[in-house]
Amino acid sequence: MFDITQLHGIIPPICAPMTDDGEIDVASVHTLVEHLLNGGVHGIFVLGSTGEFSSLTARQRKLMLDETVKAVGGRVPVIAGILDTSTARCIENGLEARAAGADAVVIAAPYYYRISQHEIIDLFRAVKAAVELPMLAYDVPTTNIKLECDTMVRLAAEGTLVGLKDSSGQAEAFRRVLLATRGLTFRVFTGSELIIDSCFQMGAHGSVPGLGNVFPAEYVQVYNLSRAGDWTAAAALQDRLLACFYELIAQGAPGYSISSSALGGFKAGLKLRGAIRTTRVAAPLHSFGPAEEQRVADVMRRHGFLA
């Protein structure tokens, strides 16, 4: 049994592998999990933004969750996204995550209606009481609601939350939460794959990097170098990953959205590394074809991540 209050390190938000007809590719879920675990990751986050949770059907979400937990087999913690548009739906998702064997859940503000910080507090308390699993908050811009520092401190102090994944991109606010929760049982993770060495210097406990799907061992190395205090080497590797990232997510054909291009870039990288079988993403996003996949291969080769 994991002590979730000691959650740390690199916890990639696992991509959702798909077959050519748009179903969850169960075999690739298992090979992807092995790819991540072989890279030394410290946990896996399933049904996050990089996992296309909002595009999957309820049946597909359940299958992705069940197969991820099964593939991990208790070797590292599995935290499950239960993001939705209402308290009742978040509770349903949370109970499903508990039944599947997830070790913790991740919740954000609802992503349709704009709600107040008081309503967010009510939501998080209700879900925690019903689901009875350790719960982390997710500060993500797509909800159009910023999780305020005072809200995090209040919920951390009372035990409703055990941590935060901050993908807001607001470094000052991130540092303020780290400072304000120091001394509490509260784990703070950056959702950025681009500045994790800097976040570790601030005191972050770990990172949930989307690009960590493609480069798990490399992100674990950034974490280990940071822990060892070798900030120069950590920064050098982070710089390489950052440069590769910006090219990797820009290889979609004209007319592709940034979401299609980013997810396509991740999945093309995973296909090149033998972790999944196709670059299919859930419609209405556009999927990569051979031309885009070749451009991703060229990017990875140029940055020294592919022979």
Q: Which residues of the chain have pLDDT under 70?
A: 1
DSSP secondary structure string for all residues of 104-163 = EEEE---SSS---HHHHHHHHHHHHHHH-S-EEEEE-GGGS----HHHHHHHHHTTS-SE
User: Is 235 part of any domain?
Assistant: no
Enclosing domain of residue 131: 8-230
301 assigned to some structural domain: no
Give me the catalytic one of 138, 219, 223, 256. Answer: 138
- Any domain includes 210: yes
Largest Cα separation within the chain, whole Å, is 52
Q: What is the pLDDT of residue 4?
A: 86
pLDDT of 5 reads 86
Give the whole-number percent of the chain exceeding pLDDT 90: 95
CATH number of the domain that residue 192 is part of: 3.20.20.70
Residue 299 domain flag: no
Residue at 50 is within a domain: yes
Digit-coded pLDDT (tens) for 99-111: 999 999 999 999 8
What is the structure's pLDDT at 173?
Answer: 94
Look at residue 1 in the predicted model and tell me its pLDDT: 66
Question: Is 271 a catalytic site residue?
Answer: no
Extract the tokens encoding 210: 């989307």
Residue spans of alpha helices (H) in 147-289: 149-157, 171-180, 196-202, 216-227, 231-248, 258-272
Q: What is the pLDDT of residue 2?
A: 81
Q: Reply yes or no on whether 138 is catalytic.
A: yes
Residue 59 lies in a domain: yes
pTM for the predicted model, two decimal places: 0.96
Structurally, the chain folds into a number of domains equal to 1
Indicate which residue of 165, 219, 256, 271 is catalytic: 165
Residue type present at position 162: V
19 located within any domain: yes
Return d(Cα 258, Cα 290) in angstroms, integer.
18
